A = this chain, B = another copy of it.
């Protein structure tokens, strides 16, 4: 009873997963109040600290709103028109639509010249395996993205497996090579559809687009996958919903 046995997951994580499951399956509906901390303590036979650790995780994920004296309620999901994807927590910037698929169109080993090195923020001359792919949305055929995935050459054997439903590239690397993701950086930049991209993106030249660059780092900030996605979009693409992490202005704004 006291020992961990659920896949080595800590108990607060197990509890969080249970609650996340209840929310995603609709057993806890939007706006509904979660059981109080003390009730969760009794129900799951853990300490209040563990309960709060789990709830903090749900808070970090943007799933709940907490208020002293009131309680914890399931946060509303914002309904969004097509193209618009609301991100409630930073981690969601790493996710892709569930009904999308990546189709590899080619792979080639490249050496980072100055321009590429600057784009990827890697050393000039370093070797990378460049995997080009298209991401298509089934439900929204117009939404498409061009993606170049830069991998450490030693991970070339995962290329045939890219495109598996629900598996991101870094997850493949994690599964097949044990390289654990320790740090992710996401960049967004504005641009326009260039002549080279107009074809694959099925978008007119000059149409505004967003470039999303994802850096996946392992231990010691060693980058092992860098994915560069071009999204043609005249609409808003990402939004970030924040609630935590305030800092007082006097200690910070002088930086």
Contact = CB atoms under 8 A, between A and B. Distances in A.
Interface residues of A, number: 56
A105 interface: no
Contact of A188 (B191, B234, B238): B238
Interface string A217-255: 000000000000000011111111111111111011111
A85 to B, nearest CB: 10
B188 A98 contact: no
Contact of A24 (B187, B238, B242, B252): B252
Contact of A245 (B60, B188, B253): B60
B190 A61 contact: no
A35 interface: no
B206 A190 contact: no
B90 A245 contact: yes
30 contacts: A17-B248, A17-B251, A20-B252, A21-B251, A57-B245, A61-B247, A90-B240, A90-B244, A90-B245, A93-B242, A95-B253, A98-B254, A166-B249, A171-B249, A184-B242, A185-B240, A185-B241, A186-B239, A186-B241, A187-B238, A187-B239, A187-B240, A188-B236, A190-B209, A190-B233, A190-B236, A191-B234, A192-B208, A208-B208, A240-B240
